[in-house]
Amino acid sequence: MLYDRRDASISLRELALGSDCSPEGLEAALNCLCGRGHRIQISPDGLARLKQPIALDEGLIQRGLAAGRIGRHVICFGEVGSTNDVAFDSARQADSDGLVVLAESQTSGRGRIGRTWHGEPMSNIMMSVLLLDDRQELHLGALTVAGGVAVAEGIDEYVGLPTRLKWPNDVLLDGKKVSGVLTEARRIAGRQAVVVGMGINVNSCPPPEQVARPATCIASEAGHLVERTELIRAVISRLECWVRQIVQGRGEGLHKAWASRCDMIGTRTTVVCSQRQYTGRVLDISPLDELVLAQDDGQCVTLPAKGSTFLDGKC
Ligand code: BTN
């Protein structure tokens, strides 16, 4: 009730009636919410209000999620080392497939290629999704792409801002990075565990000296602060959809969704692969396998996405 009326106050009497609590029960419930990181303001005339920014809350996140594989269990932490590591550690527990781990802050958040990932507490989204892949049906590259596309679609859907993707899966707003995805796999207790880790700059941007390329946050682009709960749900729902398609062996939709957001197609670029340099126009770029380049001499060449470097920084 406090969340649903977050822009206004609600009387303690209405809260007690609505939650079927005695005054003592209501006090205990409010104390419990404060213990979970929420800040509740109560005025002398008995009006309560949930102060913003609102802490990450598993109950709120799960409340509006459609039943599916991802998000059957959600855990929110104040601070962890890396949400990816917490997700991997949970793989030993029964029924942990689809677990979503979120944290307000990370002390050793990881980015791609050995980078670190920074996130301001109570501001951004640092989320990892654990998938157990006993049947070897979750291609790591496909999941990485699914993570990027899901974040891009979640932002489009919830905030209404046009996102783009930079190979393979950085999410951009106005040409600046707003989110990155780190997908990792480990063998745990005889099972293949895959974690899709997503970092989204929602209400704060990392300082320029901490990032390799220009970064932004959703709030700066939208011009207002953004509530994280619904955005988290939107991303989880989109990821659920793509993971289902990957499992069913239907990769074309994902490729199309990715390609429609990637500005690389049709641009001229120079790629270094196996110590050779290729220059031409990008005909197709598959996030999973390869890049097809129409070279200036008229010949087409297919280069593996893995191991290719883009010289002009476009991709
Ligand atoms: C990148 O380099 O662009 C990928 C960044 C991925 C960061 C996220 S934050 C949640 C999860 N936990 C981590 O330690 N890393 C990922």
Residue 69 alpha carbon to ligand 1 centre in Å = 22
Going from N- to C-terminal start, the domains of the chain cover 10-50, 58-259, 268-310
- Residuewise pLDDT in 10s, the chain (315 residues): 999 999 999 999 999 999 999 999 999 999 999 999 999 999 999 999 999 999 999 999 999 898 899 999 999 999 999 999 999 999 999 999 999 999 999 999 999 878 899 888 899 999 999 999 988 888 888 898 999 999 999 999 999 999 999 876 789 999 999 999 999 999 998 999 999 999 999 999 988 888 878 999 999 999 999 999 999 999 999 999 999 999 999 888 998 999 899 888 888 988 888 889 999 999 887 776 678 899 999 999 998 866 676 765 443
What's the burial of 62, exposed, middle or buried (CB within 10 Å: 0-12/13-18/19+)? middle
Test site for ligand 1: of 56, 107, 110, most ligand atoms within 8 A of the Cβ: 110
In 3D, which of 33, 74, 2, 51 has the Cα closest to residue 232?
74
CATH code assigned to 268-310: 2.30.30.520
Q: Which atom of ligand 1 is the closest one to the Cα of 115?
A: 2
Token digits of residue 103: 């944290």
Residue nearest to atom 3 of ligand 1 (CA): 180
238 touches 230 (CB < 8 A): no
Distance CA 49, CA 219 (A): 23
Q: What residues flank ligand 1, with Cβ below 6 Å? A: 82-84, 106, 109-112, 115, 117, 126-128, 170, 180-182, 197-199
247 touches 138 (CB < 8 A): yes
Specify the pLDDT at position 289.
Answer: 67
SS (H, E, C) 199-224: EECCCCCCCHHHCCCCECCHHHHHCC
Residue nearest to atom 7 of ligand 1 (CA): 199
CATH code assigned to 58-259: 3.30.930.10
Q: Which atom of ligand 1 is the closest one to the Cα of 83?
A: 12
Token digits of residue 252: 């074309």
Residue nearest to atom 2 of ligand 1 (CA): 111
Specify the pLDDT at position 306.
Answer: 65
Residue 109 alpha carbon to ligand 1 centre in Å = 6
Residue 151 alpha carbon to ligand 1 centre in Å = 13
Specify the pLDDT at position 312.
Answer: 55
Strand (E) or helix (H) holding 128: strand 125-132
What's the burial of 205, exposed, middle or buried (CB within 10 Å: 0-12/13-18/19+)? buried
Test site for ligand 1: of 56, 84, 210, most ligand atoms within 8 A of the Cβ: 84
